[in-house]
Chain A
């Protein structure tokens, strides 16, 4: 399979990339790790006339602490997330999630920014970012905007990004020390998208849930933040009856599609 012809651009700064994308308009696409876009181009489902490769922009790389937040450059790969000691200490759910994305080769190139910006409901990181209350830094022709992950997703492949925008970084408030976390992903085999998945971060105080946040993957056109389900769990001892109520509240906001991974009923 051979993609359609395109012109290749390799800017070395965010400013240059934003300028190029603004000038190219609908004829330009940003290229991150390429493991969603290049397969689409090989199938000719995407035929951009210009690709603006973000790989040579050093300022888009790296993981750093900023006060009580962790800021991750958009071009940081899943492989780098897995290897980050800072994330292992502060945000271990990111390693747990990254290890369940695709396969080793894909994780060497696949980026956090690409995963959250693509708008594919099958991507894993968007629900994790909604769960964590992350904020996306977006640079466009009129400057920087900050958009909450919980406000970012509008439909399958539709996000708050506008033509010419580059998502530059992901800012995540560090959950309380000692928090519990999990990213549970049901998939048919390694490398597959989620049939369904859920991210949970919670804290316990005196045997009861102090805070709780839940994100859901691939059970609707967008990732979901299951606010009501989390609220039900807060103050409980996670007893079976309360968990059952929370599950029902989470299910109520889903609208899964039937596909090769199973009928709608199977996915929730």
Chain B
């Protein structure tokens, strides 16, 4: 099958490439652009480990063709840190609150939480849990992931983070 020319902005950099129409965005990112932060977990649109930010939407890149993303602006976990190399508030939150154990789901969790906080700067615990319901974690039981996102929201809003009493 003839390849298609695509161009997209990924983590601020314009990438041009030839792709087969059937190439999934996750395979394109991992194998052609060498961005292996987005993970392939279930490969069936359930787990959210492949989540990337695409034109202001959180999407599961295992269920999007690279040709559909032609012209898009994409951000992966590799583009999350600040320009000076310091960690994004979410990355810091996941470290400080122990929001990961094996870490496999973390890139998807952080890119999803990034969009959630863009849309709702101060989400309640319930809104966080609903907002990350498309991302599965098999280690943590979610408690510390929720705290990590609360930590990040507080930091971005410039208010002290108060951990809820257990």
User: Residues of A with Cβ closer than 8 Å to B?
Assistant: 1-8, 10, 34-35, 38-39, 41-42, 51, 53, 55, 79, 102-106, 108-109, 190-191
Contact = CB atoms under 8 A, between A and B. Distances in A.
24 contacts: A1-B44, A2-B27, A3-B24, A5-B20, A6-B22, A7-B21, A8-B65, A34-B65, A35-B63, A38-B64, A42-B24, A51-B21, A79-B57, A103-B48, A103-B134, A104-B132, A104-B133, A105-B58, A105-B112, A105-B134, A106-B45, A106-B63, A108-B59, A191-B46
Given A4-B22, A5-B1, A109 B59 contact: yes
Nearest to B48: A105
B57 A108 contact: yes
A105 B131 CA distance: 9
B64 to A, nearest CB: 7
Contacts, number: 80
Contacts of A34: 63-65, 68
A108 B57 CA distance: 6
Contact of A108 (B22, B58, B130): B58
A6 B21 contact: yes
Nearest to B54: A108
Interface residue tally of chain B, by bracket?
Answer: 20 to 34
A106 B134 contact: yes
Given A2-B22, A106-B134, A38 B65 contact: yes
A105 B1 contact: no
Contact of A39 (B44, B48, B112, B134): B44
Interface in B34-70: 43-46, 48, 51, 57-60, 63-65, 67-68
A103 B133 contact: yes
B60 A106 contact: yes
Nearest to B70: A10
Nearest to A39: B45
Contact of B63 (A10, A39, A79, A191): A39
Nearest to B55: A108
